[in-house]
Amino acid sequence: MKNIRRTLRVTAAAAAITLLAACGAGGEGSSDGREELELWFWGATPAQRAALEENLVDAYNASQDEYTLTVTFNERVDSNIQTALAANEGPDIVYGSGPSFVSPFAQSGKLLNLDEYSEQYGWQDRLLAPIYESGTVDGSLYAVANSINTVGIFYNQAVLDDLGVGVPTTIEELETALAAAQDAGLYPSVTGNKGWQPVNENYSSMFLTAVAGPDAMHDVLTGAASWTDQPYVDAVQMSADWYENGYLGGGQYTNLNFLESMQLLSDGQSPFFFGPTLAFQFAAEFFNTENGNVDDLGFIPFPTVGAELESPLYTLATTASFSINAQSEHPDAAAEVIDHMLTEDFMSTMTAQWPGYWGVPLAGVELDPAQFDGLSAAYVTALVDILTATEEGRFGYFTGTFFPPQTQQALVDIDTVWTGQADAETFLTGIETTFAAELADGAVPPIPAP
Amino acid sequence: MTVLNSVQPDADTATVKDARRGRGHGVHYLLLAPAILLSMAIVLVPGVFTLVTSFTDWNGVAADPEFVGVENYAAILADPIFRTAVGNNIIWTLLFLTIPVVLGLGVALLLLRRPRTRGLYQVIFLLPYVMAAVTNAMVWLNMIYSPISGVIGFLNKQGWDIDSPISSLDGAIYAVAAVDIWHYWGFLLVVYLAALRQTPVEQIEAAQLEGANSWQVFRYVYLPNIRPTMQLMFVMIMIFSFLTFDYIFLMTQGGPANSTEMLSTFAYSLAFATFQFGKAAAVGIVMGVFGLVASVIYTRMSRRGMDV
């Protein structure tokens, strides 16, 4: 009996020592002598994770022998990072869902000022000016965007052909096509916010760009105009009219998510899916060589409303951003990893495997869609147009990228107007109050002039 | 002296008893210490922190929040979404105090008469309760409510023009509650069945010998016996209803147009979408007050000798 007890004690002690040793190994350095470098990332699909592991993690780890980069994927990365940073913990490289997310962290000293690295790597010259500026707080760089994004229209060419209409380039042509689809018993367009209420901000941004226009949006975001002025009321009212008549979401807005919307588009149940270019990443499942419909999918900007606005306009957005944790022990290595993601090579490689999420906002880049296959070619075609429009100043402002957090969240509630809970004027009066308070607090991110 | 002599042993006995009692109390406190320390660490400390935060403008990350008095409370009370959330929490509570209770108790009574098969039925009815909330929510969203792949979609294709209740401003709260009730009622069934089975057989047989019908046996024999269990579940349902979060967050996130917003989802949104932790903490305190009221009711019931 005594022997058994002694054996158990020795075993328990050995297990405890092994456990402690294991814990220690995960802390400062790994068993191969390398230091750990961490990145927390959004919970992507297995195929997308594999692409990032191959092109970022494996490539970086093979390029040097001092650090081991690990990426942790999690659906709730935003709230996880928020909690970790508040406790002065968290990963070395901080993933953020846009600059408006970054600003409170930067102002609280949780993120590292990246000006030095920007100068070292030439980020300011390399990135599109409005996107670079969107990552600054009080004139200093704190975040760089991984990808440019816009909200527009995915279309199914085969459905348009069946309906006997062409790809619309004006708002009138678009309305004609929507009406034709409705008359044919199809959903005029598909999209929806099932499972993710902030999807609404895509459409508040899209209508504000298309109806109010870049100059009016710049004015209101810099405090030179009031949200209750007519251009903004018209934009919100038009979105409500379209929601009500089924042009926005086909009456199923709250029952659909992007994946299902893409499925309906590929099934020919609607000619259009209104959504962000990042939705290209969901398209491969439905538009592929097996189904023989890759060439049916196209993307166009949402047409502008009114002759006085330039056309086409693009709602300028970023998909995500990267910053460096102020508590990171390896900021130089973190900057090196970020720099690796801001290259044309990385953009091309990732876009080939994961179209929609890695349109790195590089200035002066010349991409050739012909060098890409399948959906990546369609995405690159759209990307080239967005990059060109941004350089030419033909852009509006996405709420998640350029609006302060409370105003951004208030605009998510645009569905209160769509469902008749509030009228456009009352809704925008609330927006004006929220925005004025944030403007006074200095919470509005930099607004690049169009 | 006689008196003294007679008193002295009693005093000694009392001292010894006191000493023993003291040692006994010491042991009691020692045994209670882990639970008290744990409660203080994971309930009291965060509770006090939340209360203090509710009087500040803390954004969740800043190290120097400012004291703003009752500003956060005034702001949330003036916010129509907060009022919607309170109303929804009350609706939710009423739904859960009635539908799953009646369903659970009714089926438990039926299963009393199925001694051989009730084990199987309990497992079947308890299955949704042991499944992850996210699984249940996805099943209902995609297989019932979806206009593409769900029962609603199937009915639409058959020519029935039915809108999904989850997209209705008036119906969404009930659509989500239906899922949570479906998940929860099996648990109540098991609890009530266990309580019913504790009823002394002699009482039931005596009532039946006296000629009592089924309703009378339930009303005058079973019900008094399971009343403490019912009261406990009543209080627990009240507490859970004001804390509910998972199914709302998974299925609607408070939408459409805030029509299913709960205090918990409102607090989450304030904290993690708009960096207003002060206001979120104020909402949390309000939720805590509702829970406290339920706890007081429970304590009073206990003191009245309800054996709960």
Residue B61: which of A95, A144, A84, A401 has the closest Cα? A84
Measured in angstroms, the CA of B121 and the nearest CA of chain A are apart by 33
pLDDT 10s digits, B64-111 = 899 999 999 999 999 999 999 999 999 999 999 999 999 999 999 999
Residue B20 lies inside a defined structural domain of this protein: yes
Q: How many of the other CB atoms lie within 10 Å of CB of B33?
A: 10
Residues B201 and B285 both lie in one domain: yes
Residues B164 and B258 both lie in one domain: yes
Residues B12 and B78 both lie in one domain: no
d(CA A444, CA A99): 10
**Which of A254, A262, A265, A407 is the best mutation test for B, with the most CBs of B within 10 A?**
A254
Identify the pLDDT of residue A289: 86
**Which of B169, B251, B274 is the best mutation test for A, with the most CBs of A within 10 A?**
B274
Residue B119 lies inside a defined structural domain of this protein: yes
DSSP A238-295: HHHHHHHTTTTTTT-GGG--HHHHHHHHHTTS-SEEEEEGGGHHHHTTTSSTTTT-GG
Residue B220 lies inside a defined structural domain of this protein: yes
Residues B144 and B5 both lie in one domain: no
Residues B18 and B99 both lie in one domain: no
Residues B11 and B126 both lie in one domain: no
Strand partners, A321: A96, A145
pLDDT per residue of chain A (450 residues) written in tens, 0 to 9: 455 555 545 454 554 444 444 443 334 455 578 999 999 999 889 999 999 999 999 999 999 999 999 999 998 898 899 889 989 999 999 999 776 678 889 988 999 999 999 999 999 999 999 999 999 998 999 999 999 999 999 999 999 999 999 999 999 999 999 999 999 999 999 999 988 889 999 999 999 999 999 999 999 999 999 999 999 999 999 999 999 999 999 888 988 999 999 999 999 999 999 999 999 998 988 998 888 999 999 999 999 998 889 989 999 999 999 999 999 999 999 999 999 999 999 999 999 999 999 999 999 888 899 999 889 999 999 999 999 999 999 999 999 999 998 999 999 999 999 999 999 999 999 999 999 999 998 888 889 998
Residues B26 and B76 both lie in one domain: no
Q: Which of residues 304-343 of A touch B (CB under 8 A)?
A: none
Complete edge-to-edge strand list for the sheet that includes strand A148-149:
A148-149, A314-318, A395-397
Measured in angstroms, the CA of B176 and the nearest CA of chain A are apart by 13
Distances (CA, A) of B123 to B101, B110, B191: 18, 15, 13
d(CA A429, CA A233): 10
- Interface contact A105-B167, CB threshold 8 A: no
**Residues in B touching A260 (Cβ below 8 Å):** 146, 148
Residue B148 lies inside a defined structural domain of this protein: yes
Pairing of strands A67-74, A35-42: parallel
Identify the pLDDT of residue A100: 67
Token pair 């002694």: residue:
A6
Q: Say whether A151-314+403-440 and A29-148+318-371 share the same fold.
A: yes
Residue B39 lies inside a defined structural domain of this protein: yes
Q: Among B61, B166, B252, whose Cβ lies nearest the Cβ of A85?
A: B61
- Interface contact A264-B253, CB threshold 8 A: no
Domain boundaries, chain A: 29-148+318-371, 151-314+403-440
Q: Is A151-314+403-440 a CATH 3.40.50.720 domain?
A: no
Measured in angstroms, the CA of B264 and the nearest CA of chain A are apart by 15
- Interface contact A255-B253, CB threshold 8 A: no
Identify the pLDDT of residue A3: 54
Residue B149 lies inside a defined structural domain of this protein: yes
Residues B85 and B13 both lie in one domain: no
Structural domain boundaries, residue B207: 71-303
Residues B133 and B234 both lie in one domain: yes
- Interface contact B141-A105, CB threshold 8 A: no
Bond before B256 cis per omega within 30 degrees:
yes
Measured in angstroms, the CA of A109 and the nearest CA of chain B are apart by 8
How many domains would you assign to chain B?
Answer: 2
Residues B133 and B259 both lie in one domain: yes
Residue B150 lies inside a defined structural domain of this protein: yes
Radius of gyration of chain A (CA): 24
Per-residue pLDDT, averaged over B203-214, amounts to 94
Residues B264 and B170 both lie in one domain: yes
Residue B58 lies inside a defined structural domain of this protein: no
Q: Is A29-148+318-371 a CATH 3.40.190.10 domain?
A: yes
**Residues in B touching A412 (Cβ below 8 Å):** 273
Residues B11 and B155 both lie in one domain: no
d(CA B184, CA B192): 13
